[in-house]
């Protein structure tokens, strides 16, 4: 399982500003809906009163027409009809005026002849055929809903009939006249307007009730909406927190399970409750959790003394031990142990961490080897410088002595031996100087086919004399390689000569090129010689270590130095009687 943890794929939690913004939007929506609902209810109530007033006006017009056909003017006056109508519930007053506003009929007879004037602030338009309305405040500051329109008591078919009716209409009386008195011969005005004041207390009460109801419902809706948003916010946070917790647990579990160090958790009762894969690899089969027996039986016997120390010590235990991993031998381990306690100090178990120190030991040995090689190199440089000049003098005197003695004499032979040994010492000094010299390499693009072909041509005669067959295996897709061809040729020559010398009775020398891991190029030199003893294998790169009678022990040391100067690695495998394999792994910097 592969997990990548970063801020881009981490779950997002709602910001409080999202909740605040959502609440404001909800508040605005509820407020707008409340205002619209109040206006709609007000309009509906106003329409009911307007239709009520319109119906009563139409009824008055109809009653006036019937009265006129039955000599209405001589019996019942229009004011009496208005007075009777005004007695109906909800009707405050009824006024009929001429176009100049003079009252020609009123439910209160005393107002006839006066001038009708709506209350100040009333938004009134010009009366027309269709009823209109406005609001005003009457006596005792009562709110009135006034419906007004043109008043048409006649619908005569002809102008002649209209004039006849005007002559017979006795309905007008002055303000100071008593109801029985009549004035005859007064003509009907060309237009009359009627104003009907209806009590609006029910409208106001209904409006207030609707307002309270709308506000209450809006408040409830707002509270429910806010509760829903907050609940959604909390629920989302809970889901995200649970997901984060789940991901954190899974991540921690994967981290612990894939730790390169072994980890064992032991309960307070001494049972093994957890052992990761690295610990299983170290302690199997003895400590495998699948093995039967009690939890204590699964703790490695060599580790139990450390576990026992944690029963009394409340500190971290650090020590090293050697674990016998039969049949693979012993491995060095670094062990750390500690007690697990809760915040209140309650003991719940122990934890042990094991580190495989084999790689650490290898690196320590590598550091020691390099330090030793550096010291030898410095010493070699000084010794070589001091020895080379005296050797030249010794060789000169030996050559002089050689010419002064007879060819077959013992003295001549001794001079020959002296010259030969001086030459051998001079070669050793030269190799010492070469080894001590810093590995300055010049990397350039080189043809690997040409490099191997040229290096093999230098040892072809040696291979023929030893009866060694040379084989190559170089893929066609690997052509160019970045290295120092001169130093790499020196490296390959040393390996070739060692391989040929290990096959005195003949054999096969194989050189192969391949692509290795981590983007590297591999050079493999394989021989079928006598091989290298297991005890000698770790020492073959040490300076002056050799199993040859006349070897200096610096050849393979130089090979290692050149490979490391290229940033590469060399791996050697060998088995006595079967041969040796040298593998050079070089970075492909191209």
Q: Give CA separation, 357 vs 48, 260, 330, 333, 500, in Å.
A: 98, 12, 11, 5, 38
Give the pLDDT confidence score for residue 522 in this predicted structure.
Answer: 92
**pLDDT top residue among 139 and 361:** 361
Give the pLDDT confidence score for residue 572 in this predicted structure.
Answer: 92
Q: Does residue 369 sit in the same domain as residue 448?
A: no
The CA angle 267-270-275, to the nearest 5 degrees, is 60
Residues 6+ apart with CB under 8 A from 104: 96, 97, 98, 112, 171, 172, 189, 192
- In the chain, what is the straight-line distance between the N-terminal and C-terminal CA atoms, in Å? 33
Give the pLDDT confidence score for residue 313 in this predicted structure.
Answer: 63
Model confidence band, residue 526 (pLDDT cutoffs 50, 70, 90): very high
Q: Does residue 234 sit in the same domain as residue 284?
A: no
The CA angle 155-159-161, to the nearest 5 degrees, is 70
| 509 Cα distance to chain centroid | 56
Q: What confidence tens digit (pLDDT) does each residue in 89-109 have?
A: 888 888 888 888 888 888 888
Last residue of one domain, picked from the residues 227, 255, 283 = 255
**pLDDT top residue among 489 and 259:** 489
Q: Does residue 248 sit in the same domain as residue 103?
A: yes
CB 525 within 8 A of CB 513: no
Q: Give CA separation, 530 vs 301, 504, 571, 584, in Å.
A: 43, 9, 18, 21
> Is it the case that residue 516 has pLDDT exceeding 50?
yes
Q: Does residue 248 sit in the same domain as residue 108?
A: yes
**pLDDT top residue among 415 and 583:** 583
**CATH code for the domain of 164:** 3.30.450.20
CB neighbour burial string for 22-45, b if at least 16 within 10 angstroms, e if fewer: beeebeeebeeebeebbeebeeeb
Return mean pLDDT, the chain.
Answer: 76
Q: What confidence tens digit (pLDDT) does each residue in 546-589 have?
A: 776 666 677 788 888 888 888 889 999 998 888 999 999 998 86
Model confidence band, residue 496 (pLDDT cutoffs 50, 70, 90): very high
Q: Is 128 helix (H, G, I), strand (E, B) or coil?
A: coil
Q: Does residue 219 sit in the same domain as residue 339?
A: no
**pLDDT top residue among 3 and 141:** 141
Q: Does residue 305 sit in the same domain as residue 375?
A: no
Q: Does residue 244 sit in the same domain as residue 304?
A: no
> Is it the case that residue 422 has pLDDT exceeding 90?
no
| 257 Cα distance to chain centroid | 23
Give the pLDDT confidence score for residue 33 in this predicted structure.
Answer: 75
> Is it the case that residue 475 has pLDDT exceeding 70?
yes
> Is it the case that residue 171 has pLDDT exceeding 60?
no
Residue 445: CA count within 13 A, CB half-sphere:
4
Model confidence band, residue 188 (pLDDT cutoffs 50, 70, 90): low
> Is it the case that residue 286 has pLDDT exceeding 70?
no
Share above pLDDT 70 across residues of the chain, in percent, rounded to a whole number: 77
Number of domains comprising the chain? 4
Q: What confidence tens digit (pLDDT) does each residue in 331-352 have?
A: 788 888 888 888 887 888 888 8
CA atoms of 137 and 289, how far apart (whole Å): 96
Count the neighbouring beta carbons within 10 Å of the beta carbon of residue 494: 18
Last residue of one domain, picked from the residues 385, 409, 436 = 436
Range of the domain at 424: 361-436
DSSP state of 80: H
Choose the weakest-confidence range: 164-173, 307-316, 336-345, 441-450.
Answer: 164-173
Q: What is the largest CA-CA distance in the chain?
A: 192
Pair type for strands 507-515 and 468-473? parallel
User: Average pLDDT in the 528-541 region?
Assistant: 86
To the question of pTM greater than 0.75 for the whole model, the response is no
Last residue of one domain, picked from the residues 402, 436, 470 = 436
Q: Give CA separation, 149 vs 45, 112, 478, in Å.
A: 19, 19, 108
User: Average pLDDT in the 250-278 region?
Assistant: 78
Give me the residues paired with residue 97 across strands. Answer: 103, 193
CA atoms of 361 and 540, how far apart (whole Å): 19
> Is it the case that residue 176 has pLDDT exceeding 50?
no
Model confidence band, residue 34 (pLDDT cutoffs 50, 70, 90): confident
Model confidence band, residue 430 (pLDDT cutoffs 50, 70, 90): confident
> Is it the case that residue 181 has pLDDT exceeding 60?
no
Give the pLDDT confidence score for residue 121 in this predicted structure.
Answer: 64
Q: Does residue 58 sit in the same domain as residue 206?
A: yes
Model confidence band, residue 293 (pLDDT cutoffs 50, 70, 90): very low
Dihedral sign for Cα 558, 564, 568, 574, please. positive
> Is it the case that residue 161 has pLDDT exceeding 60?
no
Choose the weakest-confidence range: 35-44, 189-198, 233-242.
Answer: 35-44
**CATH code for the domain of 370:** 1.10.287
The CA angle 119-122-123, to the nearest 5 degrees, is 160
Model confidence band, residue 359 (pLDDT cutoffs 50, 70, 90): confident
Model confidence band, residue 249 (pLDDT cutoffs 50, 70, 90): confident
Choose the weakest-confidence range: 46-55, 130-139, 283-292, 389-398.
Answer: 283-292
Q: Does residue 280 sit in the same domain as residue 316?
A: yes
Give me the residues paired with residue 198 across strands. Answer: 91, 145
> Is it the case that residue 489 has pLDDT exceeding 70?
yes
Give the pLDDT confidence score for residue 6 in this predicted structure.
Answer: 44
**pLDDT top residue among 80 and 444:** 444
Residue 141: CA count within 13 A, CB half-sphere:
0
Pair type for strands 103-106 and 91-97? antiparallel
| Residue in 166, 183, 185, 165 with CA at minimum distance from that of residue 174 | 183
Give the pLDDT confidence score for residue 169 in this predicted structure.
Answer: 41
User: Average pLDDT in the 401-427 region?
Assistant: 80
Q: Which single residue is written with the structure tokens 């961490």?
A: 353
Give the pLDDT confidence score for residue 579 in this predicted structure.
Answer: 92
User: Average pLDDT in the 302-326 region?
Assistant: 76
Q: Does residue 251 sit in the same domain as residue 372?
A: no
Model confidence band, residue 66 (pLDDT cutoffs 50, 70, 90): low
> Is it the case that residue 42 has pLDDT exceeding 80?
no
Give the pLDDT confidence score for residue 294 in this predicted structure.
Answer: 42
Give the pLDDT confidence score for residue 154 in this predicted structure.
Answer: 61
CA atoms of 147 and 23, how far apart (whole Å): 44
DSSP state of 283: H
> Is it the case that residue 360 has pLDDT exceeding 60?
yes
Give the pLDDT confidence score for residue 228 in this predicted structure.
Answer: 75
Q: Does residue 101 sit in the same domain as residue 123?
A: yes
> Is it the case that residue 512 has pLDDT exceeding 90?
yes
> Is it the case that residue 72 has pLDDT exceeding 60?
no
User: Average pLDDT in the 76-92 region?
Assistant: 77
Q: Does residue 82 sit in the same domain as residue 208?
A: yes
Give me the residues paired with residue 493 across strands. Answer: none
């Amino acid at each position: 399982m592969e997990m990548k943890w970063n801020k881009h794929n981490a779950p997002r939690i709602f910001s409080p500003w999202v909740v605040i913004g959502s609440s404001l939007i909800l508040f605005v929506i509820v407020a707008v809906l409340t205002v619209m609902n109040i206006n709609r209810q007000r309009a509906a109530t106003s329409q009911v009163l307007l239709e009520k007033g319109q119906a009563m006006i139409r009824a008055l017009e109809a009653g006036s027409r019937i009265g006129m056909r039955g000599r209405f003017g001589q019996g019942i006056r229009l004011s009496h009809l208005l007075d009777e109508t005004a007695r109906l519930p909800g009707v405050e007053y009824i006024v009929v005026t001429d176009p100049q506003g003079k009252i020609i009929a009123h439910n209160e007879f005393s107002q006839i002849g006066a001038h009708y004037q709506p209350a100040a602030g009333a938004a009134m338009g010009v009366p027309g055929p269709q009823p209109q309305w406005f609001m005003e405040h009457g006596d005792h500051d009562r709110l009135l809903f006034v419906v007004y329109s043109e008043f048409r008591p006649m619908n005569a078919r002809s102008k002649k009939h209209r004039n006849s009716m005007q002559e017979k209409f006795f309905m007008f009386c002055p303000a100071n006249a008593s109801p029985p008195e009549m004035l005859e011969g007064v003509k009907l005005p060309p237009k009359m307007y009627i104003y009907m004041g209806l009590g609006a207390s029910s409208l106001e009460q209904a409006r207030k009730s609707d307002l309270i109801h709308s506000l209450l419902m809006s408040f409830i809706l707002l509270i429910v909406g806010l509760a829903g948003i907050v609940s959604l916010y909390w629920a989302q946070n809970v889901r995200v927190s649970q997901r984060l917790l789940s991901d954190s647990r899974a991540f921690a579990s994967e981290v612990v399970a894939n730790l390169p160090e072994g980890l064992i958790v032991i309960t307070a009762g001494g049972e093994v409750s957890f052992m990761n894969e690295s610990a299983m690899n170290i302690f199997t089969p003895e400590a495998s959790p699948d093995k039967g027996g009690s939890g204590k039986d699964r703790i490695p016997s060599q580790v139990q003394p450390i576990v026992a120390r944690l029963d009394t010590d409340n500190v971290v235990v650090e020590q090293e031990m050697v674990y016998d991993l039969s049949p693979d031998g012993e491995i060095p381990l670094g062990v750390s142990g500690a007690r697990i306690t809760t915040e209140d100090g309650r003991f719940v178990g122990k934890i042990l961490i094991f580190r495989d120190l084999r790689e650490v030991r290898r690196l320590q040995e590598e550091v020691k080897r390099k330090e030793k090689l550096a010291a030898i190199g410095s010493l070699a440089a000084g010794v070589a410088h001091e020895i080379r000049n005296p050797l030249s003098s010794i060789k000169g005197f030996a050559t002089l002595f050689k010419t002064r003695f007879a060819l077959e004499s013992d003295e001549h032979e001794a001079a020959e031996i002296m010259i030969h040994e001086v030459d051998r010492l001079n070669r050793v000094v030269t190799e010492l100087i070469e080894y001590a010299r810093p590995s300055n390499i010049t990397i350039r693009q080189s043809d690997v086919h040409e490099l191997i072909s040229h290096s093999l041509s230098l040892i072809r005669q040696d291979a023929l004399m030893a009866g060694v067959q040379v084989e190559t295996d170089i893929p066609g897709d690997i052509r160019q390689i970045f290295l120092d061809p001169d130093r790499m040729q020196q490296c390959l020559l040393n390996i070739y000569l060692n391989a040929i010398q290990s096959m005195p009775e003949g054999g096969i020398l194989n050189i192969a090129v391949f692509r290795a891991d981590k983007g590297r190029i591999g050079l493999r030199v394989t021989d079928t010689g006598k091989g290298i003893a297991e005890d000698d294998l770790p020492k073959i790169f040490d300076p002056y270590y050799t199993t040859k009678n006349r070897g200096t022990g610096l050849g393979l040391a130089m090979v290692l130095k050149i490979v490391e100067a290229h940033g590469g690695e060399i791996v050697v495998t060998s088995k006595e009687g079967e041969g040796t394999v040298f593998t050079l792994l070089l970075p492909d910097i191209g």
